[in-house]
């Protein structure tokens, strides 16, 4: 055999070998195996991220509830200012009435004592 003919045969053999290796490397079962390995390696980390995210979501929901409750309480306090003003005016009125009663009692107790001097014996 001549040299060029030998090189052609060697090239054909290596090309066929390369093609066979390429087909084997990209066979669907090999691709599925690689996919399975990738999932096996990355799944624990993804599960941890999911757990962390759920925990953060629970904490966030709790904080949101607390803020909404505080806002509601503040709004209710603001709305109750009308009632506090009414209570304030009623207390002032009650104090004024009490002062009037005390003044009237003071006059009624002071008046008869002046009219009736103590008896001497």
The predicted-structure confidence for 69-95, as pLDDT tens digits, reads as follows: 999 999 988 888 889 899 999 999 999
Which token pair is 22?
């390429």
Q: Per-domain residue ranges for the chain?
A: 1-73
pLDDT of 110 strictly over 80: no
Q: How far apart are CA 110 and CA 104, in angstroms?
A: 10
Residue 113 has pLDDT above 80, yes or no: no
Q: What is the pLDDT of residues 25-52, one digit of tens each?
A: 777 787 788 888 999 999 999 999 999 9
Q: Which residues contact 30 (CB under 8 A, 6 or more apart)?
A: 24
């Amino acid at each position: 055999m001549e040299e060029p003919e030998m090189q052609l045969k060697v090239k054909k053999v290596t090309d066929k070998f390369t093609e066979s290796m390429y087909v084997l490397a990209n066979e669907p079962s090999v691709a599925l195996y690689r996919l399975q390995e990738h999932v096996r390696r990355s799944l624990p980390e993804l599960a941890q991220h999911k757990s962390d995210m759920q925990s953060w979501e629970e904490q966030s929901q709790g904080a949101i509830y607390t803020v909404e409750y505080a806002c509601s309480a503040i709004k209710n306090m603001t709305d109750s200012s009308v009632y506090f003003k009414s209570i304030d005016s009623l207390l002032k009125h009650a104090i004024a009435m009490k002062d009037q009663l005390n003044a009237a009692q003071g006059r009624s107790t002071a008046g008869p004592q002046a009219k009736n001097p103590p008896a001497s014996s």
